[in-house]
Structure 1
Amino acid sequence: MISGDIVKQASRSALLKFDPRVMVRNPIMFLVEIGMLIALAAAFFPQAFGSATVGSWFNAAVAVILFVTIWFANFAEALAEGRGKAQADSLKQTKQDIPARKLKSDGSLQSVSSATLRKGDIVVVAAGEMIPGDGEVVAGLASVDESAITGESAAVIKEAGGDFSSVTGGTRVVSDEIRIRITSDPGESFLDRMIALVEGAERQKTPNEIALNTLLISLTVIFLLVVLTLPFFTRYLGFQLDISVLIALLVCLIPTTIGGLLSAIGIAGMDRVTQFNVLAMSGKAVEAAGDINTIILDKTGTITFGNRMASEFVPVGNATVETVAQWAAVSSVKDETPEGRSVLDLMGKWGWSYDRSLGEGGEWIEFRAETRMSGVDLPDGRQVRKGAVDSVKKWVLSQGGALPEDLDRSSDRIASEGGTPLAVAVDGAIYGLLYLKDTVKPGMRERFQHLREMGIKSIMCTGDNPLTAATIAREAGVDDFIAESKPEEKMAVIRREQAEGKLVAMTGDGTNDAPALAQADVGLAMNSGTAAAKEAANMIDLDSDPTKIIEVVAIGKQLLMTRGALTTFSIANDIAKYFAIIPAMFMLAIPQMKALNVMALGSPVSAILSALIFNAVIIPLLIPLAMKGVAYRPLSSAALLRRNLLVYGLGGVIVPFAGIKIIDSLLSLFV
């Protein structure tokens, strides 16, 4: 249903859109506007235009009908646009500056916006806060989540004076607190470089868009030349055509129906994708989705959850799986990190029990970047630790314990498979390892299989090492993957596919995905992603589901089918309007032309006005079809063409014949 408020807003917008600058948006309707202005001038100055034949009232009627035609075309576009515009506008308002705590010369902290920071400023960033700009750690040590920039899901240790002292704006501090010296002025940051790449990206026109534009422009140019040369031909025959008659002929013969609905079809496609919680920034994006051949997907946050999750308990030495699981759970009772929560979730999945009171009654040891461990000191004096294998090994040795012989072998196996091993120890004994990995979202394999069945190739791009990338690609079921990829490499992959004549879709959520999202024909950003990714994309998935592209592709194909159907109807319309206008123009001077008046229209004037009125009213009558779309069916091109010709081609001939005849019968009562 379309609400009354939307209709009122569309009506106002339709009037506001009435502007000669419409040429930029819709050249066909621009010609109609020019014709309207000429007809209006001929109504007031008939002698100047040689319009004494039919009278100024006819010129005024033509101008009014053309105005209604333009208004209906703008109304269709405004009506479709109004339904999704509010959502897109509200989403763009989410982009905000990062708050920062700047260190002043007297040692106090001042709250400022990241946009005011300059090179050399010192800021303090604590756990849970965003790093406000590119910089270098000058004091402290902390874990930093860089997944939004690099695609790596594992946190990175950043410390002053080391090889890992540089940090990037937009990343998040996971633990501890650091002081950062800003190293870039506004306009010079990593994000700004990504924006420069985005601005350098250029989306290509889709084959369907090129084909339709070529057809519409060709028909318009042909009929424009015919109308411009027709006065010379008629003068040779000994009579003169009125300027308004020529305008009526041009408007009726050029594809004004599809020209008036073209924008509405695209915007209505944008509105339809919102039913699947996807916001499209342009109708062209939805259209391109119907023809994509390749989809490029970022791994972190797109195919995977982006957090390392416990997937397995690996015993070492003489310990059992249950023992490792129980002590890992005890050490995670008060661990609020995603990794800690996943340990308890895995326990519940296997149906194992543990003594929760042990963890709750002990003294919690928080994770620190210096120790790279967390744990709990129990009331009975026992100490439980969970953390990086090297750190736990040192701690156990300091307790006088021994290391299991198979510890390094098991740890290396987990790392070689792309996972992260965490050791679990009690006092001087290591019981086993936690196998953490970036978990693939449920249903990915089935969805990628569906994409293959639709003829779409899937390629995963990630900043992870080849082993991790291969493991995730195998679990997710993608067709190919590219490991250790940089933003430029993602763009290169897309351009290579496009150079082969393919249309490419890209899904991602990180700042490093922004250039590729801008280059792709369809850029689908996850709502959980960064502002840069969402600004670069032409679609945003509010559910952050990368395989939502399947639904988008179906809607894109429906949009193409709708436009094909209406194009067929529009061109077929011209046949009927030809038999209304042409005989009416010539039969007074050439009586033999009456043989072409197959509709038996009353008079030349009523015939011309009937064709013009029908040309105007058919646009609003087709708005519901443009908004709803033709039902999508997986048909071959030949079958689709046959259906369009039979239903919309034949209907496009019959409906105008009937409509023009009815209008002419009514006009004959007054003209």
Structure 2
Amino acid sequence: MNTKKRHKPQVDTTGLYQRAIRQAFVKLHPRQMAKNPVMFLVWVGTLICALLTLFPALFGPVPGENPRLFNGLVTVILLFTLLFANFAEAVAEGRGKAQADSLRATKADTKACKVLDDGDTQFVSSTELRQGDLIKVVAGEMIPVDGEVIDGVASVDESAITGESAPVLKEPGSDMASSVTGGTRIVSDELVIRVTADPGKGFLDRMIALVEGAQRTKTPNEIALTVLLAVLTQVFLIVVVTLPPFADYVQNPVGVVILIALLVALIPTTIGGLLSAIGIAGMDRVAQFNVVATSGRAVEACGDVNTLVLDKTGTITLGNRLAEEFIPVNGYSLQEVANVALAASLFDQTPEGKSIVRLAEKMNAQLNFGRNAAEGVEFSARTRMSGTNLPDGGEVRKGAVDAIKGFVRSRGGQLCPELDAAYESVSHLGGTPLAVAYESEIYGVIYLKDIIKPGMRERFDQLRRMGVRTVMLTGDNRITARVIAKEAGVDDFIAEATPEDKIQAIKDEQAQGKLVAMTGDGTNDAPALAQANVGLAMNSGTQAAKEAANMVDLDSDPTKLIDLVTIGKQLLITRGALTTFSLANDIAKYFAILPAMFAGVGIGSLNIMGLASAQSAVLSALLYNALIIPALIPLALKGVKFRPLSANQLLQRNILIYGLGGAIAPFIAIKLLDVLIAAVGLA
């Protein structure tokens, strides 16, 4: 996983465990307990045992000496079982609430300088701002609400939210730098911002609600496991209820408390008690990784992802492509190509466009027109070109080679053979070739250089071992895309991709029954982000992208999607491992309680652990059943260590460690508890 270290906002965890202990008692309310069928049955059993402690003969005469003491001990152990389970959930919730309190301290009701329709300004409370309002924020002031920059250039300190101490440059007209978040602070210059969220619906509000768990709903896998546990509990309840007639028939009557003890031992209380904590902790791990998920469903879906759809630029390659070289064609000189490239990129504010301008200026390129008299033409995903309309009516364009060919043909121009040679030369280097033309003449090719991020091949190999297929999306031509895909080690690629191609690629994968994840930052990525099962938007991206996605990366690191797949799989592995351990535990508890119940009819010979007495066996089994829950809380919160293995390998490993281990460990623990209980004379 990504091990990049960064400053994180401090989360106040003072008194976390004290609050969790208090919450453990609050959660004993029947309305709270009823949400968990397994633990609700334990809660009912505790009440019945408490009554039998006060009135031992409530359900008829009870054999044996001092039943009140035994019933009381069983009641106390069952109560602690409930408290430990509630404590596990409260600790997981408490960590999220502590983080929410830290974020809430960032959010404050501040004064905002609202720009009125007539151009005047008025100071109003930030709670009075509505979507579409314009506000002016100057250096030193906090940005009160989410918005889009429409005027000005300024450095913004986002450390309160992202943990990154370096200020971020914000300016209008850029997908990556126009979106601002409420709670951040301007450190230089000033901005005019259009409000994009009403009060209570901003990004920080959603962050607080989600990490606090206020909007947490059970995920599909969690619901399915809860249903399975409820069915198992119901089956075991029926089994236990039908035992008394058989016991009476063999003249070995069984008390109600023993039956409750058997039921609690049979049902999977360990996973039942830790299930909520595992899910909440999964959300918390994502939050600690500087990602905000709209729901636990999104986190869990990461673990089930079959296909990753990744943009090339910024995800697989380092940042933005930069102009490396001008290649003249059609008999033009290098200086002439530089002049036309400068004219075509004059209004291009993207990093690629700025790098072309820098390279042209380095070669002393000149303009023969006034900038104020010219008009910029923005890049379009459909035309795949951008450029400048000159004052004399001429048109200068740069863009994908085939797009420029079409532009030149439409003006009656002729193509030259050197163009294809330059195109293939740049493509085979893994770079992006852009053709540049003035009217009906192609002047040359611009070589934009791409550098693959270190370690990407290893990360894709790791995903492949987990059964995750990777698809690279790029606007580059097929030759360049093939070179980059081969070098990076992705499984497939889609070249010359349009926004429609992105959506279609996702739909094609989903039609095969696969779960698809993708990352994006621009408005044109929003439809694909919404279509994907897991959509990760960059915090530096547009509001449309963030609204469409179900996850937002505060660090704006596109490769984070790969780490989220790991976190999601760790969540599923942890849940599966502890479920396996919980069910395997029951074997030892059967061998402790069943022989104790029927010792009088020969089944006592199954007492292979050599437990001291029937009461000691029951108390030891129940005590182990209670203590194993707090013992596993750290594992539930931290998660089982992730290893990039296939599903079959993970299953084998879980069975070996948590299945076999879960069957052996209780035998040892129950025997030790039995020795201790016998030594102090409790049974």
TM-score interval for Structure 1 and Structure 2 normalised by the shorter chain: 0.5 to 0.7
- Structure 1 stretch displaced more, 635-644 or 251-260: 635-644
Structure 1 residue 565, shift from structure 2 partner: 3.0
CA distance in 2, matches of 1:100, 1:521: 39
Structure 1 residue 656, shift from structure 2 partner: 1.3
- CA deviation digits over 1:104-124, x for unaligned, max 9? 4xx7566888964799xxxx9
Does residue 528 of structure 1 match 2:527? Answer: no
2:376 to 367, 372, 375: 372
Name the counterpart of 2:44: 34
Does residue 540 of structure 1 match 2:564? Answer: no
Query: SS at the partner of 1:38?
Result: helix
Structure 1 residue 247, shift from structure 2 partner: 1.9
In 2 relative to 1, CA 473–665 (structure 1 residues): closer, same or farther, beyond 3 Å?
A: same
1:617 to 601, 619, 627: 627
In 2 relative to 1, CA 663–297 (structure 1 residues): closer, same or farther, beyond 3 Å?
A: same
Does residue 242 of structure 1 match 2:266? Answer: no
Name the counterpart of 2:393: 394
Structure 1 residue 251, shift from structure 2 partner: 1.2
Q: Does the aligned pair in 1 maintain the 2:466–2:644 contact within 8 Å?
A: no
Matches within 5 A, 1:223-622: 223-238=236-251, 240-273=253-286, 277-280=290-293, 285-297=298-310, 310=323, 312-313=325-326, 315=328, 320-321=333-334, 325=338, 338=351, 341-343=354-356, 346=359, 371-372=375-376, 388-391=387-390, 394=393, 435=446, 442=453, 446=457, 451-452=463-464, 454-459=466-471, 477=485, 479-481=492-494, 483-485=497-499, 490=503, 494=506, 497-498=509-510, 500-510=512-522, 517=529, 520-531=532-543, 533-534=545-546, 537-587=549-599, 590-622=600-632
Q: Does the aligned pair in 2 maintain the 1:610–1:667 contact within 8 Å?
A: yes
- CA deviation digits over 1:150-205, x for unaligned, max 9? xxx99xxxxxxxxxxxxxxxxxxxxxx99x9x9x9999xxx9xxxxxxxxxxx997
CA distance in 1, matches of 2:449, 2:109: 29
CA distance in 1, matches of 2:132, 2:294: 34
CA distance in 1, matches of 2:282, 2:197: 42
CA distance in 1, matches of 2:514, 2:174: 32
Matches within 5 A, 1:135-150: 145=173, 147=175
Structure 1 residue 450, shift from structure 2 partner: 5.9
- CA deviation digits over 1:400-459, x for unaligned, max 9? xxx9x999969x99999998777899xxxx996795989787469746576456543345
Structure 1 residue 223, shift from structure 2 partner: 0.8
Does residue 103 of structure 1 match 2:107? Answer: no
Amino acid at match of 2:674: D
Aligned residues: 573
Amino acid at match of 2:623: I
In 2 relative to 1, CA 313–630 (structure 1 residues): closer, same or farther, beyond 3 Å?
A: same
Q: Does the aligned pair in 1 maintain the 2:312–2:472 contact within 8 Å?
A: yes
Amino acid at match of 1:250: L
Q: Does the aligned pair in 2 maintain the 1:10–1:78 contact within 8 Å?
A: yes
Task: State the percentage of identical aligned residues.
Answer: 49
CA distance in 2, matches of 1:607, 1:40: 20
Name the counterpart of 1:59: 71
Amino acid at match of 1:127: D
In 2 relative to 1, CA 564–455 (structure 1 residues): closer, same or farther, beyond 3 Å?
A: closer
Does residue 220 of structure 1 match 2:233? Answer: yes
Structure 1 residue 217, shift from structure 2 partner: 3.8
In 2 relative to 1, CA 461–340 (structure 1 residues): closer, same or farther, beyond 3 Å?
A: closer
In 2 relative to 1, CA 511–647 (structure 1 residues): closer, same or farther, beyond 3 Å?
A: same
CA distance in 2, matches of 1:372, 1:290: 45
- CA deviation digits over 1:305-351, x for unaligned, max 9? 9978646535477654367559978999999874564246657xxxx
Q: Does the aligned pair in 1 maintain the 2:433–2:445 contact within 8 Å?
A: no
1:645 to 643, 655, 667: 655
Structure 1 residue 577, shift from structure 2 partner: 0.5
Structure 1 residue 219, shift from structure 2 partner: 2.6
Name the counterpart of 1:380: none
In 2 relative to 1, CA 409–51 (structure 1 residues): closer, same or farther, beyond 3 Å?
A: farther
Q: TM-score, normalised by structure 2?
A: 0.65
In 2 relative to 1, CA 369–601 (structure 1 residues): closer, same or farther, beyond 3 Å?
A: farther
- CA deviation digits over 1:245-300, x for unaligned, max 9? 22221111111112222333334444445665445565554443333112244678
Does residue 72 of structure 1 match 2:54? Answer: no
CA distance in 2, matches of 1:116, 1:519: 29
5+ residue gaps, structure 2, are 1-11, 134-147, 155-170, 179-190, 204-216, 379-385, 397-407
In 2 relative to 1, CA 368–16 (structure 1 residues): closer, same or farther, beyond 3 Å?
A: farther
CA distance in 1, matches of 2:644, 2:132: 56
Query: SS at the partner of 2:375?
Result: coil
Query: SS at the partner of 2:518?
Result: strand
Query: SS at the partner of 1:505?
Result: strand
CA distance in 1, matches of 2:48, 2:545: 48
Name the counterpart of 1:195: none
In 2 relative to 1, CA 643–320 (structure 1 residues): closer, same or farther, beyond 3 Å?
A: same
CA distance in 1, matches of 2:29, 2:49: 17
CA distance in 2, matches of 1:314, 1:301: 25
In 2 relative to 1, CA 88–549 (structure 1 residues): closer, same or farther, beyond 3 Å?
A: farther
Structure 1 residue 560, shift from structure 2 partner: 3.5
Q: Does the aligned pair in 2 maintain the 1:313–1:432 contact within 8 Å?
A: no
Structure 1 residue 578, shift from structure 2 partner: 0.7
Structure 1 residue 302, shift from structure 2 partner: 6.1
2:671 to 647, 661, 669: 661
Q: Does the aligned pair in 2 maintain the 1:424–1:432 contact within 8 Å?
A: yes
2:151 to 118, 123, 127: 127
Query: SS at the partner of 2:389?
Result: helix
In 2 relative to 1, CA 335–508 (structure 1 residues): closer, same or farther, beyond 3 Å?
A: closer
2:642 to 632, 636, 656: 632
CA distance in 2, matches of 1:259, 1:87: 26
Amino acid at match of 2:615: V
CA distance in 2, matches of 1:247, 1:526: 53
Amino acid at match of 1:623: I
Query: SS at the partner of 2:676?
Result: helix
Q: Does the aligned pair in 2 maintain the 1:420–1:435 contact within 8 Å?
A: yes
- CA deviation digits over 1:10-55, x for unaligned, max 9? 4344344444344575332222222223323333444444475563
CA distance in 1, matches of 2:516, 2:287: 21
Query: SS at the partner of 2:640?
Result: coil
In 2 relative to 1, CA 306–569 (structure 1 residues): closer, same or farther, beyond 3 Å?
A: closer
Q: Does the aligned pair in 2 maintain the 1:525–1:534 contact within 8 Å?
A: yes
CA distance in 2, matches of 1:484, 1:535: 21
Query: SS at the partner of 1:525?
Result: strand
In 2 relative to 1, CA 561–320 (structure 1 residues): closer, same or farther, beyond 3 Å?
A: same
Query: SS at the partner of 1:241?
Result: coil
Amino acid at match of 1:391: L
- Structure 1 stretch displaced more, 611-620 or 86-95: 86-95
Q: Does the aligned pair in 1 maintain the 2:78–2:626 contact within 8 Å?
A: yes
Amino acid at match of 1:36: T
CA distance in 2, matches of 1:99, 1:229: 74
Matches within 5 A, 1:152-167: none
Q: Does the aligned pair in 2 maintain the 1:266–1:282 contact within 8 Å?
A: no
CA distance in 2, matches of 1:639, 1:539: 29
Query: SS at the partner of 1:546?
Result: coil
Structure 1 residue 234, shift from structure 2 partner: 3.2
